[in-house]
Structure 1
Amino acid sequence: MANSFAVLASRKNVGDMADGLDQVGARLRAARHAHGWTLEELAARAQMSVSTLSRLESGKRQASLELLVPLTRQLGVRIDDLVAAPTVDPRVRRSVIRRDGMVIAPLAPEGSAVNTYKITYSPDPNGCSELRVHDGYEWLYVIAGRLRLRLGEQDLVLARGEAAEFDTRIPHAMGAAGNRPAQIISIFNEAGVRMHTHGAAAEVDAP
Structure 2
Amino acid sequence: MTQDADDLDAVIRARIRGLRQAKGWSLDALAARCHLSPSTLSRIETGHRRISVDQLVLIARALDSSVDQLVEPVDDADVVIRPRHDVVHGATTWLLSRDDGPHGLTVAKLRITRRTRPKQLRVHPGHDWFTVLSGTVRLYLGERVILVAPGQAAQFSTLAPHAIVAHDGPAEVLTILDHEGQRAHLDAVDLTPESSPPGSPG
TM over 0.5: yes
TM-score by length of 1: 0.60
- Amino acid in structure 1 at the alignment position of 2:107: T
Matched, 1:122 2:119: no
How far does residue 30 in structure 1 lie from its aligned partner after superposition? Answer: 2.1
How far does residue 33 in structure 1 lie from its aligned partner after superposition? Answer: 7.8
- Matched ranges for 1:165-180 at <5 A: 165-178=155-168, 180=169
- Could you say which residue in structure 2 is the equivalent of 1:63? 49
Task: State the secondary structure of the residue aligned to 2:124.
Answer: coil
- Could you say which residue in structure 2 is the equivalent of 1:98? 86
- Amino acid in structure 2 at the alignment position of 1:78: Q
Task: State the secondary structure of the residue aligned to 1:133.
Answer: coil
Structure possessing the higher radius of gyration over alpha carbons: 1
Task: State the secondary structure of the residue aligned to 1:20.
Answer: helix
- Could you say which residue in structure 1 is the equivalent of 2:64? none
Q: How many residues align?
A: 162
Matched, 1:30 2:27: yes
Question: Whole-Å Cα distance in 2 between the matches of residues 34 and 143 of structure 1?
Answer: 44
The one of 176, 179, 184 aligned to 1:187: 176
Let me know the Cα RMSD of the aligned residues: 4.0
Question: Whole-Å Cα distance in 2 between the matches of residues 60 and 91 of structure 1?
Answer: 26
Structure 1: gaps of 5 or more residues: 1-10, 12-16, 36-41, 43-52, 70-76
The one of 96, 106, 116 aligned to 1:107: 96
Task: State the secondary structure of the residue aligned to 1:196.
Answer: helix
- Could you say which residue in structure 2 is the equivalent of 1:78? 55
How far does residue 61 in structure 1 lie from its aligned partner after superposition? Answer: 9.3
Cα–Cα, structure 1 residues 155 and 34, in superposed 2: closer, same or farther, change >3 Å?
same
Cα–Cα, structure 1 residues 153 and 58, in superposed 2: closer, same or farther, change >3 Å?
closer
Matched, 1:20 2:9: yes
- Matched ranges for 1:124-139 at <5 A: 124=115, 127-129=116-118, 130-139=120-129
Structure 2: gaps of 5 or more residues: 21-25, 61-66, 196-201
How far does residue 92 in structure 1 lie from its aligned partner after superposition? Answer: 5.4
How far does residue 103 in structure 1 lie from its aligned partner after superposition? Answer: 1.2
How much identity, in percent, do the aligned residues show? 25
Question: Whole-Å Cα distance in 2 between the matches of residues 92 and 58 of structure 1?
Answer: 31
Matched, 1:151 2:141: yes
